[in-house]
Amino acid sequence: MILKAPAKVNLHLEIKGRRSDGYHEILSIVQCIPLYDHIHICSLKKKHALRVVCDPSLPGGHNIAALAVERFRKIRGIDDGIEVKIEKTIPVGAGLGGGSSDAAAVLTGLNKLFGSVLKPKELRDLASQLGSDVPLFLGDSAALVSGRGENITDLAARQDFNLVLVYPGFPISTQDAYHWFDQAAESCHSGSSHPADLRFQYEQKRVDSWDFFNAFQYVVECRYPVIKRITEILRRSGAHIAAVTGSGSSVFGVFTDGKAARSAEDTLARAYHRVWMLVPLKNDPSAD
């Protein structure tokens, strides 16, 4: 079985503060994009065997996909041997959700492989045990996300804009970014949007009137001036929004003028190795 695991960008990301459980309360609009890891799943003859191969290898050898297999087998009492091969395209630690998307694809694939033994709610509950972002990739291509990421409302995905996405060549730890935000909260644009207003803005308003932002922008720009430079290039090139996705390090620009987007892509590609011009995914997120 071969599955596609799409990346995502946070078109909007607010941080509402720290919760009593230690997590941060967020409010975000997430858009899946056609940048994919490819997941190969097959059975092994040896019972209880688990082999996860990632190309290229992840730093430290850690992979949430292995945990997804272990949790799935445990909850269903399955002892079959499983092999997962992951062909990585989505950069690691780049705010694009690659690891979470991989884990969601593994859960989806295993559920199909074993005859849809888990109902959709059971699959979402299992996904939430693996990470805050994992359930997101079981839904549609655009979503309003709140809480620590567990509250997900599917949105009517739009495709009337282009994204120019830039990976600057280094990862940023989400844990570090939250720490920086907590230290500099008074200097950050944290926002106070209402979920219904954000949904209306995404689904109904003109793209060039969106006032979305990312609360991590200030703290990551302070530590990585290259992110500020990329953001400025995107804005000068005609992007209506230019911001990091997630906690970085990737930066995206939202364009309604395709010619301007292509020009921005060409300009940035001369300085940065990994630059993409993309049209957002329609619902279903694993489809082209």
H or E segment at 218?
helix 217-223
Look up residue 105 and give its two tokens. 């694809």
User: Which pLDDT tens digit goes with each residue over 226-236?
Assistant: 999 999 999 99
What average pLDDT does the chain have?
92
User: Homologous superfamily of 162-278 in CATH?
Assistant: GHMP kinase, C-terminal domain (3.30.70.890)
Distance CA 88, CA 53 (A): 10
User: Which pLDDT tens digit goes with each residue over 174-222?
Assistant: 999 999 999 987 777 767 789 999 999 999 999 999 999 999 999 999 9
Token pair 């609009």: residue: 29
Distance CA 28, CA 87 (A): 28
Say if CB 203 and CB 234 are below 8 A apart. no
Domain boundaries, the chain: 2-154, 162-278
Distance CA 211, CA 202 (A): 10
Active-site entry in 37, 80, 102, 133: 133
Is residue 112 annotated as a catalytic residue, yes or no?
Answer: no
Give the CATH number of domain 2-154; options: 3.90.800.10, 1.10.3720.10, 3.30.230.10, 3.40.30.10: 3.30.230.10
Is residue 197 annotated as a catalytic residue, yes or no?
Answer: no
Compute CA distances 38 → 55, 94, 103, 287, whole Å.
10, 18, 12, 12
Active-site entry in 8, 37, 80, 140: 8
